[in-house]
Amino acid sequence: MSAPIASGQLPESYRPPMPPPELEDVDHDFDAAWAERRRKGKRVRIRGNVYELPASVPAKVILFAAKAKRTGADLAKQVDPVEIIDLLSSLLGTENIGQLLADGLDFDEMGDVMGYCMASYRTDVAPGEEQAPAVGPAPTTPSA
């Protein structure tokens, strides 16, 4: 049997109540950092509509790229179109990809979109270094 507690004293096992999670002082708040990062997704125009990419690359895309690198797959030649559609769906949304395909987005255009999206997440590229494919004919240079 424990000794009676004198008035004004707390038992040794007493722990003060924790503040609500959103008010608790923490060293690093992942929730706040992720919320901030999600607000900065790149915006792209495809077939007249503007789409916002996720601010950070979805894990599915990273895992796919890691697997391709590990197996030595040539992404330009050895990727199943269904996989490309699945990856683009994780970037642009399933309904959006369905609509783009219904509007006539072809395989080469899917590759352009996927290439730009992947490049936009690279951390070893200076901002502005990678650009979306140019619209219209390729520029010509005078020959010597």
For 42-60, what is the HEC assignment? CEEEECCEEEECCCCCCHH
- Position 133 in a domain: no
Q: Is 112 part of any domain?
A: yes
pTM of the model: 0.56
The three-point CA angle 114-115-118 to 5° equals 85
Tell me how long the chain is.
Answer: 144
pLDDT attached to residue 40 = 73
Tell me whether residue 64 is in a domain: yes
Residue 22: the pLDDT is 63
DSSP character string of the chain: -PPPPPTT---TT--PPPPPTTTS--S--HHHHHHHHHTT--EEEETTEEEE--SS--HHHHHHHHHHHHHT--TTTS--HHHHHHHHHHHH-HHHHHHHHHTT--HHHHHHHHHHHHHHH-SSS-TTSS-PPPSSSPP-----
Is residue 113 one of the residues assigned to a domain? yes
Average pLDDT over residues 71-100: 84
Are 91 and 58 contacting, i.e. CB atoms less than 8 angstroms apart? yes
pLDDT tens digits, 38-61: 677 888 999 999 999 988 889 998
pLDDT tens digit sequence for 90-136: 999 999 999 999 999 998 899 899 889 888 887 644 444 444 444 44
Structural domain range at position 108 = 56-124
Residue 103 lies in a domain: yes
How many domains are there within the chain? 1
Residue 75, in any domain of the structure = yes
Residue 13 lies in a domain: no
